[in-house]
Amino acid sequence: MAELFDQVKEFYRSDSPWAELLRDILSVAKILIIFAIVSQVAFGTWTPMRAIESGSMEPHMQIGDIVFIQDMSRTRIVTQEEGAVSGYETFGDFGNVILYRKYGRNDETPIIHRAMYFVEAGEPMWEGGPAAPHAGYITKGDNNPSYDQRGICREPVREEWVIGVARFRVPYAGYVRLIFSKIVASFPF
């Protein structure tokens, strides 16, 4: 066992370029492992970050922001309607901003918008609107003139479609991911 410790000490003291490269790789791996563990403990998910890709949540979230998402197993959704009564605010308005999969589909980019209110099956989705085909959340981007259910997602957001609740943002940190995605998308694979 002492021989193994001596080899580890020698590795960490070596001036070899290969040893330096391997030490750098191990350092990055340690940081990623620690980040993944902290993410799982704090947010209930291994990948808690999402980059904002559109201006639909401006001025409270900007294109290129990174938003940290808490898994639904660790929280509950407060709608704008409930938040207005209780005074609960996030991201500059009442209620929670949620990340959801449109129609529950995994092949589309998730949408991050505010949960406005909850409707039961058969209730009008908005005043004078059509009846909800099932229970769920009516959602809206803070910068959008109308509800998602009038356009991009024609039915209420089912609870099982919700990935999580936005907790905080880091301005501009998502630009690296957005630029990288555009570069990758431009290659003809």
Q: Which CATH number is 120's domain given? A: 2.10.109.10
Spans in the chain with pLDDT lower than 70: 39, 42-43, 46, 189
Res 154: pLDDT:
94
H or E element, residue 112 = strand 111-119
Do 121 and 28 lie in one domain? The reply is no
Res 41: pLDDT:
72
How many angstroms separate the CA atoms of 178 and 184, rounded? 10
Do 38 and 129 lie in one domain? The reply is no
63-93 burial, b for 16+ CB within 10 Å, e for fewer?
Answer: bbbbbbbbbbeebebbbbebbeeeeeebbeb
Res 89: pLDDT:
98
How many angstroms separate the CA atoms of 153 and 115, rounded? 13
Do 73 and 33 lie in one domain? The reply is no
Do 38 and 81 lie in one domain? The reply is no
Res 139: pLDDT:
98
Res 1: pLDDT:
76
Do 88 and 162 lie in one domain? The reply is yes
